[in-house]
Amino acid sequence: MSSSSSSRTFWVGGNWKMNGSVAAIKELTSTFNAGSSPSDVEVVIGAPFVYVHLLSESLRKDWAVAGENCYVKSSGAYTGEISPEMLKDVGAKWVILGHSERRNILQESDGFTAEKCVKALEAGLKVVLCVGELLEEREAGTTQQVVERQLAAAVKVLKEQDWTNIVVAYEPVWAIGTGKVATPEQAQETHAAIREYLKTAVSPKVAEETRIVYGGSVNGSNCKDAAQKPDVDGFLVGGASLKPEFLDIIKATQ
């Protein structure tokens, strides 16, 4: 199933990962704040916990701020963890969950990621739910099984109405920070399959309305072609979101 993306607002997110400093963020936000941003594109930037408040105070108000992770409880004896309520309290409106670096480096399971989604949505945050396969899984032809397994854990615990506050980010792990990029055709193929899965697993309405964005070495020069694909509803951008070229990526559909 391929559908016209015109009914879905194009969405571009930045994920700063474990990067940034007070000085760098002040400089970058002044660049972003001075740049032009299309009114029909939703823009969100994910920052490390310690900079969420600074970013939410200094970033232009037509863009939103995300945390890069959260825990499954509101408060308590969980040393070093951050609750969705805390993120909200310091100005975040979104949270990035299930990023491949959490899944693969920190060994977070599909079930734990799904539990975080439930908690974050209950707290009033919107969720970027990341899914994607490793290089060996792509080469073995199991991309779809991997992505569906990751999504199935969330589908199991989420209500249908929860999906209005979720963006699914497809990030092939082999294309993150490697300079390798899935071709626009590969991205479209996987996005269309994700949409087909949501149609069966949740509902046709959710499949039609959920934004599915691509992440994996997206930059100012390679984003234009992918943006034209009917099931690519935007991007989750890593390294390039720490540079002025992020402004070019949010104009990919122009």
| Residues catalogued as catalytic | 99, 171
Structure tokens at 207: 């499949």
Q: What's the rounded mean pLDDT across residues 234-245? A: 96
pLDDT of 183-225, one tens digit each?
Answer: 999 999 999 999 999 999 999 999 999 999 999 889 998 999 9
Q: What's the rounded mean pLDDT across residues 30-54? A: 98
Q: What's the rounded mean pLDDT across residues 224-243? A: 96
Q: DSSP 3-state assignment of 159?
A: coil
d(CA 88, CA 65): 10
Q: What's the rounded mean pLDDT across residues 222-233? A: 95
Contact predicate 49/71, CB 8 Å:
no
pLDDT of 108-143, one tens digit each?
Answer: 999 999 999 999 999 999 999 999 999 999 999 999
Assign 3 a pLDDT band (cuts: 50, 70, 90).
very low
CATH number of the structural domain spanning residue 207: 3.20.20.70
Q: What is the chain's length?
A: 254
Average pLDDT value for the chain:
95
Residue 213 lies in a domain: yes
Assign 177 a pLDDT band (cuts: 50, 70, 90).
confident
Residue 160 lies in a domain: yes
State the greatest distance between any 2 C-alpha atoms of the chain, in Å, as a whole number. 48
Contact predicate 236/215, CB 8 Å:
yes
Residue 254 lies in a domain: no
For residue 24, pLDDT over 50 is answered with yes
d(CA 166, CA 88): 16
pLDDT at residue number 6:
59
Number of domains comprising the chain: 1
Residue 2 lies in a domain: no
Residue 4 lies in a domain: no
Domain of 86 in residue numbering reads as 10-33+40-249
Assign 180 a pLDDT band (cuts: 50, 70, 90).
confident
